[in-house]
Amino acid sequence: MVSFELTDDHRLLEQSIREWAGREVAPRIHDLDRAHRFDPGIVPQMASLGLLGISVPAEYGGAGMDYIALGLACEELEYVDTSLRVILSVHTALNSLTLLAWGTEDQKQRYLVPQAQGTRLASYGLTEPSAGSDARGIQTVAIRRGDRYVLTGEKMWISLADVADQFLVFAWTDLEKKKQRDPTGISAFIVERAYKGFSSGTLTEKWGILAGNTGFFKMDDVEVPRENLVGREGEGFKIAMFALDQGRYTVAAGATGLIRACRDASVAYAGTRKAFGVEIGSHQLVKEMIAQMESDYEAARLLWLRAGWLKNLGRRNTKETGLAKWFATVASERAASDAVQVHGANGYSDEYPVGRFYRNCKGAVIYEGTREIHKIMQADYLLGYRTDRPARCTLPAWTRETP
Ligand SMILES: Cc1cc2nc3c(=O)[nH]c(=O)nc-3n(C[C@H](O)[C@H](O)[C@H](O)COP(=O)(O)OP(=O)(O)OC[C@H]3O[C@@H](n4cnc5c(N)ncnc54)[C@H](O)[C@@H]3O)c2cc1C
């Protein structure tokens, strides 16, 4: 039986994030954004709300909530600012849920537990200066030397690059396969900032998600213990794609929150601003923009909810999650552009939040699979050029934990 009812736990979660973000972040976000400042003080607050390990089982230090709760949290966080949701995307979805599915028990104890408790911050390093959509084009290598791997390379456009404690990093372990671009030569590693030869920096010319940290890190002969290999040698590409199934889900839900923020700001403004003697909301063309935001919001929400429902059941959801991400991010760009339009010249100023929404939404149309990559994926499924083969490790289905 399909149910569209949220549980009491879901509603309580939504309410507590709404109250916290409204009280602690909303009054400051304009200034943080203008100052291009990531506030590290927000992270422990999110941890104390249980958000950093929201869908991680309690046995690994998490809140043990279902994957719908993760989506709801993302929607609420991005309603206030994209930078908040990005923390959940890279730390919880791309990194922690990957360790939950693919990590050894030792890795879960050493890395997943502190991440879920929020005492260590994590991120995900796939993109490089010369390879984004084309992940097989990465140049980072990991050479096996005794009981260690020596990693050399540079990762670029990495969220939380300058603040995270540890990263899930992808590198070639088979140099012959690298030459042939055979992705079974890529492996995944946990790399700590504290390792010798690791350095990072912040990208200062970015023009959106300004209250978030985005940067690069370099690995110069970084020695990584063999125990930090995630999965088996050669499984890195599969692990990277698995992680994106969870990351894209959070991006979809977050973009849905951004559409709602655009809608609410536009409705409020259209009810007060007057033109030609009437509220602008009574002009049909303004109504059209607001109606489009509402239909995009509802459709985007249903798509991510369906993906979350599949995750709860432990079913493969790469296609559904990709569709949700593609639809919600493209719709959020439309909503943000129209929200600025509804606000007229005032929308073109940082005095109103819609300009920030407009700058923030574009990133999500690029990261975790560009709009074009997602279009190609959907067509390829339909045309039979793409099918999902069963994976060795899967995201565990959600089971209610008895206290
Ligand atoms: C704010 C932000 C945060 C990010 N955070 C992270 C992170 O935490 N970790 C991480 O690993 N990465 C991160 N990224 C990087 C992101 O994932 C990449 O930017 C993305 O994968 C696209 O790669 P690219 O920028 O190299 O663009 P390219 O791959 O060079 O693409 C350029 C253009 O060509 C198009 N294109 C490419 N290939 C095709 C094709 N086959 N068919 C049609 N069109 C194509 C693309 O759609 C795009 O329009 C982040 C990016 C941003 C902007």
What is the tens place of the pLDDT at every residue in 227-248? 999 999 999 999 999 999 999 9
Q: 97 pLDDT exceeds 60?
A: yes
Mean pLDDT value across residues 253-262: 99
Q: 99 pLDDT exceeds 70?
A: yes
94 lines ligand 1 (CB under 6 A): no
Longest dimension (CA), the chain: 79
98 lines ligand 1 (CB under 6 A): no
| CA-nearest residue, atom 48 of ligand 1 | 370
Mean pLDDT of all residues in the chain? 97
Question: 368 an active-site residue?
Answer: yes
Between the CA of 43 and the centroid of ligand 1 the distance, in Å, is: 26
Between the CA of 366 and the centroid of ligand 1 the distance, in Å, is: 5
| CA-nearest residue, atom 26 of ligand 1 | 132
Cβ count near 160 (within 10 Å) = 25
Q: 365 pLDDT exceeds 80?
A: yes
Q: 403 pLDDT exceeds 70?
A: no
Are 8-121 and 123-235 in the same CATH fold?
no
Q: Using alpha carbons, list the distances in angstroms from residue 399 to 67, 125, 214, 313.
A: 11, 30, 35, 9
Domain at 238-383: CATH code? 1.20.140.10
Task: Locate the domains of the chain by residue range.
Answer: 8-121, 123-235, 238-383
C-alpha distance across the termini of the chain, in Å: 26
pTM of the model: 0.98
- pLDDT at position 138: 98
Between the CA of 137 and the centroid of ligand 1 the distance, in Å, is: 12
Mutate to test the pocket of ligand 1, among 82, 126, 133 (most ligand atoms within 8 A of CB): 133
Q: Specify the CATH class of 123-235 in words.
A: mainly beta
- 210 CB-side CA count, 13 A: 21
CATH superfamily, region 8-121: Acyl-CoA dehydrogenase/oxidase, N-terminal domain (1.10.540.10)
- pLDDT at position 1: 75
| CA-nearest residue, atom 16 of ligand 1 | 367
- pLDDT at position 57: 98
Distance of CA 371 to the CA centre of its chain: 15
Between the CA of 280 and the centroid of ligand 1 the distance, in Å, is: 38
Q: 375 pLDDT exceeds 80?
A: yes
Comparing 207 with 400, the larger pLDDT belongs to 207
Alpha carbons 113 and 103: distance in angstroms, whole number: 12
